[in-house]
Amino acid sequence: MTTEINTQDWQQAFIATNILAIGYNAWVGYLGGERGVVICSTNSPHLSIAGETFKVHFIPRQNLAAFLNAWLTAPDTVLLQRHFMNAHILEAVDKYNPQKDIVFLLEYGNQAGFFYLTNLPITPPQCYQTVCKQWAEFQPPHTLLTGAKTQ
């Protein structure tokens, strides 16, 4: 029981720390045409000056059943909450509100955790706007992009 609580604490902390990126990816994926699920793997982090980054993918609903069948039935992947099967994940994707909620799968080691994120402190569209605004703030001025000399 203690190990399960520690695992849940780690997962919740990961989600809280990365909610902007998770929400951004959820909204970009939804804007691409349909509902889906954000999947993040912590198995191969990339280390840089900015810290650790992780692989994140948005799987649209039309590709999700095949993806889940291949990914979650692989012999080395264990779905953390066993009572959630593919049908439950697909149903969650069919019913979630993309304006407010996120369906999220977190892979770490040989396990995967399923999360239906609701009542978020920041919505997916707000995550998208925040990330885009912050990204724009760190872009070089237009004159530097064109190679023009500045005085």
pLDDT average, residue stretch 39-44: 87
| Crossing angle (nearest 10°) for helices 61-72 and 86-95 | 160
CB 18 within 8 A of CB 108: no
Tens of pLDDT, residue by residue over 64-102, are 988 887 876 665 555 444 445 788 899 999 999 999 999
By C-alpha distance, which of 65, 61, 72, 69 is closest to 32?
61
Which residue in the block uniquely carries the two structure tokens 């369906």? 103
Domain ranges of the chain: 7-131
Distance CA 87, CA 65 (A): 8
- What dihedral angle (degrees, nearest 10) is formed by the CA atoms of 123, 125, 126, 129? 160
pLDDT level of residue 134 (50, 70, 90 thresholds): confident
